[in-house]
Structure formats: C-alpha cells, structure tokens
Amino acid sequence: MNNDFLEIKDLKKSFGTGEARQDVLRGMNFTVKKGEFCVLLGPSGSGKSTLLNIIGGIDTPDEGYVSINGDKLEEMNEKQLTMYRRKHLGYVFQMYNLIPNLNVKENIEVGAYLSDKPLDVEEVLTTLGLQNHKYKYPSQLSGGQQQRVSIGRAVVKNPDILMCDEPTGALDYKTSKEILALIEDCNKKFGSTVIMVTHNEAIKYIADHVIKLRDGVVRHNDINEKKISAFELEWYPWMWHSKM
C-alpha cells in the first residue's frame, strides 16, 4: 500500500433523466495523501459540492468509488457510513449551517459529542477567537464569526479529514484570510488532511496539492512546492473568478 489516504476513482454522477439529464461528474480521478492540504478549484456549478458530498458519504456516485485507507465507501452499509463520518470527517459548510437554537459553545459541543477523540471545546473556542462570544446565538454573529463556529464544530472532532466547501465564499477579504489561516492551523497542528473547495484561484498558493476541475473531470493535478502561509496570501476582487 502506498501512502495515498483518499482515492477517487472513475467517479461519475449525473442528475435528472432524459432531456434534463446533467452529467456533473464524468469520470473523476485523483488521490490525496495523508496530512495534505488539498484545494479543489473550479467554477460554480462544476460539481465541487457534489464531489464533496460523495467523499463525505452523504451522496452516492453512479459509477466509480471513493476509498479511504483502502475501504470503499460504496461497500459500506448505512451504519458503517455513519461511523465513517463520525470517526474521520469534519465538515465545514459554505452556508455555515449552524443550529440556530444552540449557542456558539453548544454548537461546537455538537461536534465534540460525535467524536471519540474530541479536542477540548474551550481550547477550540480560544483558538478560533470565540471566547467572548461563546454564549451568543448564531443570529447574533457576523458571517466570519459564524464560519469560525462552523470550523470549530468540524475541528473539535479532531477529524482525519477536514472538508471545507467554499468556507470563504460569503466572507470579505480580511475575514477570508483569517479563516484560511485557521484551516491551515488545523492542518499543521493536528495533522488533519484538508480538502478545501473554492472557486477563488488565489487560494491555491497555500495548498500542498491543487486539483482543478472543469466539465466534470480533473483538468490539472499539481503539487505545489512553494506553498505560502495564508497571511502572505493576496488577491483582488477581480481575481476571484478563475479564468481557467
């Protein structure tokens, strides 16, 4: 066995039938190594979220497979999939998806309860700069703060794989950089493998591994030798939309 942690093999997925049929993934192949910071780049509608859902075991491919440590997701039953999500995954959603009637701390505890090796909730709150807000409810927080909570909820599980679906998609420049720095931290500090989806090409410079998607297939699959830290990152609004 090589040190490929996550393997995506000939993955195909389409939605709808007949006229309305849309092939979103058309045979996607790539592997991710353990501990890698991997960025999935692609324009809106290119199937990034669909791919992430399949990797997360909450959606199923039409063909091909996803395997983690050699275990194929498609061979797992409902219970095993639940255990897979519980043990290995941390999920940061684009739209934060916090539970509205729980406060910040409780939202993070939701993640902690689901893990058998959780990090200390208070420590996570401190790391994310949420100590002063821990008793606030999601509706009382800014977008950046909500995304921090969402990251906290994923990170507190101490997951093997941290999946982030456009975590900065709705945030401004400065906040985005802070959020990216946090994700970078988790990757370094806890050794989590990070798979981050974005349509902002500028972000690729902080990754070890950049995968560009287009028309349902992998267009470029590059290892970035000269990665920089999130704070060194700079981009301008006009750079946000990839010209690929």
Partner 1 sequence: MGIFLDYWKMAFFNIRSNKVRAFLTMLGIIIGVSSVVAILSIGNGMSNFISGSLSSMAGSYFEVYTNGSKPITTRILDNTVEKFDSITGYSEVLAFKATAAGLKKEVEVKVESGNEMFKGKDSNEIIAGRYFDKSEYDLAKPVCVIDQNGAKEIFGREDVVGEFINMVAYGREFTAKVVGIRKAGSALQSMLFGGPKIKVEMPASFVNELFGMDPDSLYDVLLFVDDPENAVEMSVKAKQYIAAALNERGTDMVKSYELNSGIAQFSSILAGVTAFVMLVAAISLFVGGVGVMNIMLVSVTERTREIGIRKSLGAKTVSILWQFLIESGLISLTGGVIGIVLGYLFSFLISAIIKAAGSVTVLPEFNIVMILVVALFSMGIGIFFGWYPAKKAAKMTPIDALRM
Ligand X SMILES: Nc1ncnc2c1ncn2[C@@H]1O[C@H](COP(=O)(O)OP(=O)(O)O)[C@@H](O)[C@H]1O
Q: Point out which residues bind ligand X (CB under 6 A).
A: 15-16, 22, 24, 42, 44-50
Nearer to partner 1, 30 or 91 (CB): 91
CA angle 205, 46, 238 (to 5 degrees): 50
Closest to 140 (Cα-Cα) out of 102, 169, 176? 102
Does residue number 168 form part of the binding site for Mg ion (CB under 5 A)?
A: no
Nearer to partner 1, 110 or 244 (CB): 110
187 binds, among partner 1, ligand X, Mg ion, none (CB under 5 to 8 A by kind): none
Three-state DSSP class for residue 31: strand
- The 49-88 site mask, x for binding Mg ion (CB under 5 A), equals x---------------------------------------
What backbone torsions phi and psi does residue 83 show, to the nearest 5 degrees? -65, -35
Q: Would you say the C-alpha torsion 236, 238, 241, 244 has a positive or negative sign?
A: negative
Name the one range near Mg ion by CB under 5 A: 45-53, 106-114, 146-154, 217-225.
Answer: 45-53
Cα 38 from Cα 193, distance rounded (Å): 8
Between β-strands 89-92 and 161-165, what pairing exists: parallel, antiparallel or unpaired? parallel
24 binds, among ligand X, Mg ion, partner 1, none (CB under 5 to 8 A by kind): ligand X
Closest residue to Mg ion in the complex (CB): 49
Cα 37 from Cα 223, distance rounded (Å): 10
30 binds, among partner 1, Mg ion, ligand X, none (CB under 5 to 8 A by kind): none
Cα end-to-end distance, the chain, whole Å: 34
Nearer to Mg ion, 170 or 181 (CB): 170
Binding interface with Mg ion (CB under 5 A)? 49
